[in-house]
Amino acid sequence: MSTDTSTASDTSETVDEPDAATVAELESRIEELEASLAAVEADDGPKKMSIIATKGTLDMAYPPLILASTAAAFGWEVQVFHTFWGLDILHEERSKNLKLSAVGNPNMPMPNAIAALPGMDSMATKMMRKKIADNNTASIEELIQTSLDMGVEFQACQMTIDLMDYDEDDFYDGVTTGVGAATALQFMGDADVQLFV
């Protein structure tokens, strides 16, 4: 027992006064950590936002464009990756003719059976367009142009461009084509905000 006690007290003395080599090692480790912390703190570039836009109806075209242009106004770096029907938002001709679906939307003031009749989608779209104009809400085209002017990076997924038989020239000037999922993911992995619309 007495031997144990003396060993314990020896150990505590060793801890109290570590040898010079250990101190030097710890000091150099602290310096290393401080340097990497400083590097992390120095890397406070603008926030990044990544949006994946997959829908091409009039109502679903607005959220990605409003968020992208506003984030650009915050000084954020913004990338919007458009795939499947989301491509229509960047398609110069089709973007001016986006439609609203009257079917499958329980907020529409008509039953699905009636909404499914021919001409109902156009009617719903016409009504929505009138509301947008009356409310002085920005048009899709205006939001795209504003976003491009503010440095938003719009990307059109190459696989779906081919799938939909679109041509690279069909898109607004400034839209990036020839990109795929890996390009989107590379940016997303680094982004502070990632949204799927």
Partner 1 sequence: MSSELDSSEVTETLDVQGANCPMPVIKTKQAIDGLSTGDVLEVVATDSGSMSDIKGWAETTDGVELVDQVEGDGVYTHYVRKTE
Our finding on whether 95 is near partner 1 (CB under 8 A) is no
Our finding on whether 137 is near partner 1 (CB under 8 A) is yes
Which is closer to partner 1, CB of 54 or CB of 146? 146
Which is closer to partner 1, CB of 69 or CB of 83? 69
Residue from the set 41, 104, 136, 173 that interacts with partner 1 by CB under 8 A = 136
Per-residue contact flags (x/-) with partner 1 for residues 53 to 92, judged by CB under 8 A:
-------------x--xx-xxxx-----------------
Write the secondary structure of the chain as one string of H (helix), E (strand) and C (coil): CHHHHHHHHHHHHHHHCCCHHHHHHHHHHHHHHHHHHHHHHHCCCCCEEEEEECCCCHHHHHHHHHHHHHHHHCCCEEEEEECHHHHHHHECCHHHHCCCCCCCCCCCCCCHHHHCCCCHHHHHHHHHHHHHHHCCCCCHHHHHHHHHHCCCEEEEEHHHHHHCCCCHHHECCCCEEEECHHHHHHHHCCCCEEEEC
Which is closer to partner 1, CB of 123 or CB of 132? 132
**# of chain residues touching partner 1 (CB under 8 A):** 14
Q: How far is the CB of 104 from partner 1 (least distance, A)?
A: 26
Q: How far is the CB of 161 from partner 1 (least distance, A)?
A: 28
Which is closer to partner 1, CB of 10 or CB of 134? 134
Report the candidate in 164, 178, 141, 155 with the shortest Cα–Cα distance to residue 82: 155
How many Cα atoms are found within 13 Å in the side-chain-facing hemisphere of 81? 22
Which is closer to partner 1, CB of 98 or CB of 143? 143
Residue from the set 21, 135, 165, 182 that interacts with partner 1 by CB under 8 A = 135
Q: Provide the binding-site residues for partner 1, judged by CB under 8 A.
A: 66, 69-70, 72-75, 135-138, 143, 146, 150
